[in-house]
Amino acid sequence: MINLKKGILFAVLFSSLFIVSCSNDNDDDELIGNWIKKSAFDGPARSSATSFVIGDYAYVAAGYTGDEYLKDLWAYNSNGDYWEQKANFTGVGRSSASSFALNDKGYVGLGYDGTNKLKDFYQYDPVSNSWTQKTDFAGTARYAAVGFQAGGKAYFGTGYDGNYLKDFYQYDDQANTWTLVNGFSGNKRRNATVFVIADKAYLVTGINNGVYQEDFWEFDPATDVWTRKRDVDKDTNDDYSYNDEYAIVRSNASSFSMNGLGYIVGGESIKTVWEYNPSTDLWVERTAMEGATRTDAVGFTINNRGFYMLGRIGSTYFDDAWEFKPLDEQNDDDN
């Protein structure tokens, strides 16, 4: 009788382990999203470039090759899947600059030239293919700041000037002036990322003194109000609607938005992808980036299509480009 009970117990335990194993396998298989390799970047492989989007084109500027701080500008045609070189950026070559698009012009500023932290600021006109220097950024010279435009208003903020920062300034392109805006209540940081959904900006991740930042914020430019959302670290939330295995905290990640959802891709030694739904304030894991793990890459959205490219791992720099299809099943055979 004892042996029979032991046999039944063993069978139950074995079945449970089998079910758990299958369940974990299914969880992996259920990750949705597919990555499609696109036309490789025509310029030198690089990390820490910056980008802005106007119409059907994304513009990628500057960056670092491991040997040289760059000042070239390339336009990606999303319809034709090809690259065109444009007029060189007229500031000094730099990495970790910030940028945004505003009223059909692109703007690039800040960064690091290998010696100096920078605060100069330039406008790119795609019609004339020319650059014009504008009023210097009103904050301190810095690099690894975020830049974004939401609701017709454009901003630079956070970054590193020798100190980790959390200030934000708005740029007025008509007056060519910068204005310090309402205080951001989050932690100081550099190498954060921002995506924009329905004219609101979402600031997440980054690092401060070696610590990855867990706080997550929504900014409404119509009211100049920052609202704290759920933290992105599982250990700081008691909400069981969260996936208890998620790990979103990181630095040097990239982001974009599609179909009213935000996406965070990659970062330091990580290639996972997370999707944010602002209506529920929840994250769902999607298929990891199919190319090499990388940091300091570029992410952007063109006509509701998300792209991710460039970056580095260690001393290896990349020039590949990828598009993410969030509703497709992952396919190993399409690249």
pLDDT tens-digit readout, 258-283 = 999 999 999 988 999 999 999 999 99
Q: What is the pLDDT of residue 333?
A: 84
Percentage, residues of the chain above pLDDT 70: 87
Q: What is the pLDDT of residue 85?
A: 98
CA distances from 23 to 16, 17, 241, 258, 327 (A): 10, 10, 19, 29, 22
Contacting residues for 232 by C-beta, under 8 A, at least 6 apart: 204, 205, 214, 215, 216, 246, 248, 249, 283
Structure tokens that stand for 269 in this block: 């030694």
Handedness of CA 208, 212, 216, 222 (dihedral sign): positive
Structure tokens that stand for 136 in this block: 């210097």
For residue 308, the surrounding DSSP H or E stretch is strand 305-309
pLDDT in tens, 217-238: 999 999 999 999 999 986 655 5
Provide DSSP, 92-116: ---BS-EEEEETTEEEEE--B-SS-
- pTM for the full predicted model: 0.89
Q: What is the pLDDT of residue 246?
A: 67
Q: Are 147 and 155 a contacting pair, CB within 8 Å?
A: yes
Q: Say if residue 94's pLDDT is above 60.
A: yes
Provide DSSP, 10-22: HHHHHHHHHHHHH
Q: What is the pLDDT of residue 20?
A: 35
Contacting residues for 241 by C-beta, under 8 A, at least 6 apart: 280, 282
Mean pLDDT for 36-59 is: 98
Structure tokens that stand for 244 in this block: 């208890």
The whole-angstrom separation of Cα 33 and Cα 284 is: 11
Q: What is the pLDDT of residue 142?
A: 98
Mean pLDDT for 29-40 is: 91
The whole-angstrom separation of Cα 58 and Cα 48 is: 16
Contacting residues for 268 by C-beta, under 8 A, at least 6 apart: 250, 251, 252, 295
- Confidence band (pLDDT; 50, 70, 90) for 300? very high
- Confidence band (pLDDT; 50, 70, 90) for 245? low
Q: What is the pLDDT of residue 16?
A: 39
Contacting residues for 253 by C-beta, under 8 A, at least 6 apart: 193, 205, 264, 265, 266, 267
- Confidence band (pLDDT; 50, 70, 90) for 7? very low
Q: Say if residue 164's pLDDT is above 80.
A: yes
The whole-angstrom separation of Cα 329 and Cα 335 is: 14
CA distances from 234 to 174, 203, 271, 329 (A): 44, 18, 18, 27
The whole-angstrom separation of Cα 275 and Cα 285 is: 6
CA distances from 86 to 40, 61, 127 (A): 17, 10, 11
Q: Say if residue 10's pLDDT is above 70.
A: no
Please provide the average confidence, as pLDDT, over all residues in the chain: 90
pLDDT in tens, 172-224: 999 999 999 987 889 999 999 999 999 999 999 999 999 999 999 999 999 99
The whole-angstrom separation of Cα 43 and Cα 322 is: 16
The whole-angstrom separation of Cα 166 and Cα 217 is: 12
